[in-house]
């Protein structure tokens, strides 16, 4: 499977769109906004660019995209006022896979420009995988990526045997049932991807530029720790119920795997130090509180969020006939399990400076 041609958040503004179901990601970004604004302020004061170029990597298609940009621009303008210097012009590069619904973001640009009083702000899309070069040499002052780097560039090839069959039986991700071969394959894919990400950004950023990365992580060395595998285990159970009801063939489920990896803090730090291209300024972990929002339960809220992210992959593999049923089951199981146990989901914020 050519994953970059298949995987995307649900576009548009409908009830199953990412735009309507990204409040969990918004709360995570809000938790880290003080770190992000401090980083861009430090970068600006140390480099004083007349034209400030920033890139949002993995921008997706929801309202969070322009909301984040607005906060960063307002931060720099307030900083300029405090030091009595003119504000720079802003160039904003939006990046995501070619399948991303950039048009939903662009439709909101007229209102975005009005809210910022039509300042000198230039916004454009640069589609492509951020696991590789996206931008010209030394063109970026500031880079940020929220809720994206836990997605791998592909499903690790090491989880398949010579015949192409998955070695990860009775699982769609790393679980307690997975062999060491499977967990090691996921880890190696993360190492390959994250190192390539760092090398690519190093070539695209100016010296002393800063980068803020926020993604899901785990706080233990174990790959199958509940905090990073809980929701994938529930999704597997949901599929299994449909298998038992004859809705999908068992072999279809056994050949489905997800391209997700929540690294440990030690794994992140090791890759940064190995490449030696960035100074590690900060690494901070936080838990995003549960909030059902406008949904009748937290399980329903999570089900809608996961569907808006995973629907493209599920439809490609299983077809679209099971979507409503599998996520109704998923939401119910999440609520049942969380009533019996407390599961913490951790997010890490990493701040890097280009050497």
- pLDDT value of position 252: 94
Residues in the chain: 355
Count the neighbouring beta carbons within 10 Å of the beta carbon of residue 221.
Answer: 10
Kindly indicate the confidence band of residue 341, based on its pLDDT and cuts at 50, 70 and 90.
Answer: confident
Count the neighbouring beta carbons within 10 Å of the beta carbon of residue 270.
Answer: 14
In this prediction, what percent of the chain has a pLDDT beyond 90?
81
Distance of alpha carbon 180 from alpha carbon 187, whole angstroms:
10
Q: Residue 235: which residues within 8 A CB-CB, separation 6 or more?
A: 172, 306, 310, 326, 330
For 1, the token pair is 């499977």
- pLDDT value of position 346: 93
pLDDT at 82 over 90: yes
Instruction: Using the structure block, give the residue that is written with the tokens 């034209």.
Output: 51
pLDDT at 330 over 90: yes
- pLDDT value of position 276: 97
23-27, 139-143, 332-336: segment of lowest average pLDDT: 23-27
pLDDT at 241 over 90: yes
Distance of alpha carbon 262 from alpha carbon 265, whole angstroms:
10
Task: Measure the CA dihedral 310/297/147/30, to 10°.
Answer: 160
Q: Residue 221: which residues within 8 A CB-CB, separation 6 or more?
A: 264, 266
Could you report the per-residue pLDDT of 154-174, keeping only the tens digit for each?
Answer: 999 999 998 888 999 899 999
Distance of alpha carbon 332 from alpha carbon 349, whole angstroms:
31
Collapsed DSSP state (helix, strand, coil) of residue 68: helix
Kindly indicate the confidence band of residue 54, based on its pLDDT and cuts at 50, 70 and 90.
Answer: very high
Distances (CA, A) of 319 to 9, 16, 172, 327: 16, 16, 17, 14
Distance of alpha carbon 261 from alpha carbon 232, whole angstroms:
11
Q: Is the dihedral of CA 261, 264, 265, 270 positive or negative?
A: negative
**Averaged pLDDT for residues 340-354:** 93
Kindly indicate the confidence band of residue 333, based on its pLDDT and cuts at 50, 70 and 90.
Answer: very high
pLDDT at 327 over 90: yes
Count the neighbouring beta carbons within 10 Å of the beta carbon of residue 48.
Answer: 12
**Averaged pLDDT for residues 301-324:** 95
Kindly indicate the confidence band of residue 239, based on its pLDDT and cuts at 50, 70 and 90.
Answer: very high
For 10, the token pair is 């649900």
| Mean residue pLDDT across the chain | 94
Distance of alpha carbon 79 from alpha carbon 115, whole angstroms:
19
Report the side by side order of strands in the sheet with 346-354.
121-125, 89-95, 51-57, 140-146, 205-217, 346-354, 278-287
- pLDDT value of position 275: 97
- pLDDT value of position 352: 98
pLDDT at 117 over 90: no
Distance of alpha carbon 111 from alpha carbon 334, whole angstroms:
38
104-108, 232-236, 288-292: segment of lowest average pLDDT: 288-292
| Residue 253 near residue 173 (C-beta atoms within 8 A) | no
Kindly indicate the confidence band of residue 264, based on its pLDDT and cuts at 50, 70 and 90.
Answer: very high
Q: Residue 68: which residues within 8 A CB-CB, separation 6 or more?
A: 29, 36, 56, 144, 146
Distances (CA, A) of 150 to 86, 161, 174: 38, 24, 14
Kindly indicate the confidence band of residue 148, based on its pLDDT and cuts at 50, 70 and 90.
Answer: very high
- pLDDT value of position 266: 96
- pLDDT value of position 98: 95
| Residue 309 near residue 6 (C-beta atoms within 8 A) | no
Among residues 258, 265, 292, 278, the alpha carbon closest in space to that of 347 is found at: 265
Could you report the per-residue pLDDT of 265-310, keeping only the tens digit for each?
Answer: 999 999 999 999 999 999 999 987 787 778 889 999 999 999 999 9
**Averaged pLDDT for residues 4-23:** 90
Q: Residue 170: which residues within 8 A CB-CB, separation 6 or more?
A: 177, 236, 254
Angle subtended at Cα 194 by Cα 170 and Cα 62, rounded to the nearest 5 degrees: 80
Give the DSSP H/E element, type plus range, for residue 53: strand 51-57
Kindly indicate the confidence band of residue 208, based on its pLDDT and cuts at 50, 70 and 90.
Answer: very high
**Averaged pLDDT for residues 92-101:** 97
Q: Residue 161: which residues within 8 A CB-CB, separation 6 or more?
A: 167
SS3 content of the chain, % helix, strand, coil (to 5): 45, 20, 35
């Amino acid at each position: 499977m050519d994953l970059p041609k298949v995987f995307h958040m649900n576009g548009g503004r409908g009830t199953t769109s990412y735009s309507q179901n990204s409040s969990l990601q918004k709360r995570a970004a809000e938790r880290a906004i003080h770190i992000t604004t401090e980083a861009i302020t430090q970068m600006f004061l140390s480099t004083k660019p007349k034209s400030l170029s920033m890139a949002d990597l993995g921008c997706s298609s929801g309202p969070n995209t322009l909301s984040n940009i607005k906060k960063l621009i307002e931060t720099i303008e307030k900083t300029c006022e405090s030091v009595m210097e003119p504000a720079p012009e802003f160039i904003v590069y939006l990046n995501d896979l070619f399948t991303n619904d950039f048009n939903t973001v662009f439709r909101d640009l007229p209102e975005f420009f009005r809210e910022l009083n039509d300042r000198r702000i230039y916004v454009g899309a640069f589609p492509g995988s951020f696991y590789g070069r996206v931008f010209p040499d030394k063109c970026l002052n500031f880079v940020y990526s929220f809720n994206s780097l836990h997605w791998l560039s592909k499903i690790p090839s090491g989880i398949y045997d010579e015949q192409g069959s998955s070695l990860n039986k009775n699982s769609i991700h790393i679980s307690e049932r997975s062999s060491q071969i499977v967990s090691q394959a996921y880890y190696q894919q993360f190492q390959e991807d994250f190192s390539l990400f760092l090398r690519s950004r190093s070539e695209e950023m100016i010296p002393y530029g800063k980068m803020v990365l926020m993604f899901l992580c785990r706080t233990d060395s174990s790959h199958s720790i509940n905090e990073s595998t809980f929701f994938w285990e529930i999704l597997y159970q949901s599929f299994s119920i449909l298998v038992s009801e004859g809705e999908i063939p068992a072999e279809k489920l056994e050949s489905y795997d997800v391209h997700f990896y929540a690294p440990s803090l030690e794994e992140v730090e090791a890759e940064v130090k190995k490449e030696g291209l960035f100074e590690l300024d900060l690494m901070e972990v936080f838990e995003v509180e549960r909030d059902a929002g406008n949904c009748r339960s937290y399980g329903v809220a999570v089900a809608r969020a996961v569907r808006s992210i995973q629907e493209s992959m599920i439809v490609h593999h299983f077809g679209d006939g099971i979507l409503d049923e599998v996520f109704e089951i998923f939401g119910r199981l999440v609520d049942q399990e969380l009533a019996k146990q407390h599961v913490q989901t951790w997010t890490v914020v990493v701040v890097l400076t280009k050497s």
